[in-house]
Amino acid sequence: MLRVVIPPVNRDEAATAAYETPLEKLELTDDLAIEIERETERLEATTPEEILEWATERFAPRFTMATAFGPEGMVLIHMLAEIAPDTPIFNLDTGYQFKETLELREQVKRRYGIAVEMKRPATTVEEYERQHGGAVYRSNPDQCCFDRKVKVLHEAVAGMHAWASAIRRDQSLDRAKAPIVGWDKKFSLVKVSPLANWTKQQVWGFITKHDIPYNPLHDQGYTSIGCWPCTRAVLLGEDERAGRWSGTAKTECGLHSQ
C-alpha cells in the first residue's frame, strides 16, 4: 500500500486534530503511482457514489472539494451530504461571481446543512484593479485567473492529500482524457473526478430526479458559469463552454490544466 509522508490521522480525533497541525505535501511515491493507476482502472466501471466512498475512506480528513456551484458540483455536494457530510467544501470567491452563484451557497446550507467555505484572494476586486490600473480580466485574463483562483486554491488545499473535481470528459478537449483518479502535479494532490465519465444528460437527469438546487442562469442559456465579466449565454449549436472567455483563445481558468 501507499507509503504516506505523514502517519494517518485517527478518524476519531479528526474533528479536533485534523486542521491544527500543518502537514507536508503528499509525495508521489512509486507506491502511490501504482495505487492511483490501479484505482482509476477499477473505479472506471463504478458509480460516482462508490468513487466518493472510496475517496473519503482513503483520504479523509485530508480530502476536500472545490466547487463553483455548477450542476456537476451540486450533484457531488448532494452525494457527499449523504456519504461524508463532514467533507470540507470550499468555493474560490474571486469577487467577480454572479449573485445567483453566491445565493446557491445559502441554498446548500439550508438543504444539506453544509456551509461551503469562501476562499478569497488577499485583495478585493477594487484593490486588485487599482493595483493593476484597471480590469485585469480584460487586459490579461490568464493573470486574473491565476491571481484570483489558482493562487487561492494553492492556499486552500494546504495540508490536504486529495481533492474532488466535478469535471466531465465530454466538456472540452482539455478534459477529454481526465482520469477518475489521477495525480495533480500542479497542486501536489490526488485528484478525484467522480463524474469524469458522466454526460451532461446524466448530470441533469440526476438533478431532476433528486430535486437538487441549481443556478437559475442555466435556464437563461448559461451552460457553463464562471465570473460574470468572462461568461455569456451560449448560442444555439455552440459548444457547452463557448460562453467562457468568449472572443479569446482561452478555454480554462488554469485549475484543471497541468
Instruction: Catalogue the active-site residues.
Output: 253
DSSP reduced 3-state for 191: strand
Residue 63 CB neighbour total at 10 angstroms? 23
DSSP reduced 3-state for 103: helix
CA distance 98 to 105: 12
**52: closest CA among 72, 79, 24?**
79
CA distance 184 to 188: 6
**74: closest CA among 231, 230, 218, 187?**
218
**170: closest CA among 137, 202, 215?**
202
CA distance 65 to 87: 8
DSSP reduced 3-state for 41: helix
Residue with cell 460516482: 48
Residue with cell 459548444: 239
Residue with cell 487599482: 130
